[in-house]
Amino acid sequence: MRKPIIIGNWKMNMQIADGLVFLNDLEKESYNIDVGIACQAISLIPMKEQAKKVLIGAQNTNDELNGAYTGELSVDLLKEAELDFCLVGHSERRQYYNESDETVNKKIKLLLEKQITPVVCVGESLEQYENKQTKEVIEKQIELALQDVDVKNCVIAYEPIWAIGTGKTATPEIAQSVCRLIRKKIASLTSVEIANKVRIQYGGSVNPENIKELMACEDIDGALVGGASLKINDFKKLISY
Ligand code: PEP
Within 8 A by CB and 6+ apart from 70, the residues are: none
Are residues 235 and 214 in contact, defined by beta-carbon separation less than 8 angstroms?
Answer: no
Please tell me the pTM assigned to this model.
0.97
**Residue ID of nearest Cα to ligand 1 atom 8:** 226
The pLDDT assigned to 1 comes to 85
Distance of CA 156 to the CA centre of its chain: 7
85: enclosing H helix or E strand: strand 85-88
| Residue-wise pLDDT tens digits, 127-157 | 999 999 999 999 999 999 999 999 999 999 9
Q: Which atom of ligand 1 is the closest one to the Cα of 227?
A: 9
Within 8 A by CB and 6+ apart from 84, the residues are: 36, 55, 56, 57, 116, 117
Does ligand 1 have an atom closer than 6 angstroms to the CB of 91?
no
Does ligand 1 have an atom closer than 6 angstroms to the CB of 157?
no
CA of residue 36 to ligand 1 center, whole Å: 14
Are residues 200 and 239 in contact, defined by beta-carbon separation less than 8 angstroms?
Answer: no
**Residue ID of nearest Cα to ligand 1 atom 4:** 226
Averaged pLDDT in 10-residue chunks for the chain of 241 residues: 97 98 96 97 98 98 97 98 98 96 98 98 95 97 97 97 86 97 98 98 96 98 98 97 93
CA of residue 63 to ligand 1 center, whole Å: 23
Known catalytic residue: 193?
A: no
Known catalytic residue: 127?
A: no
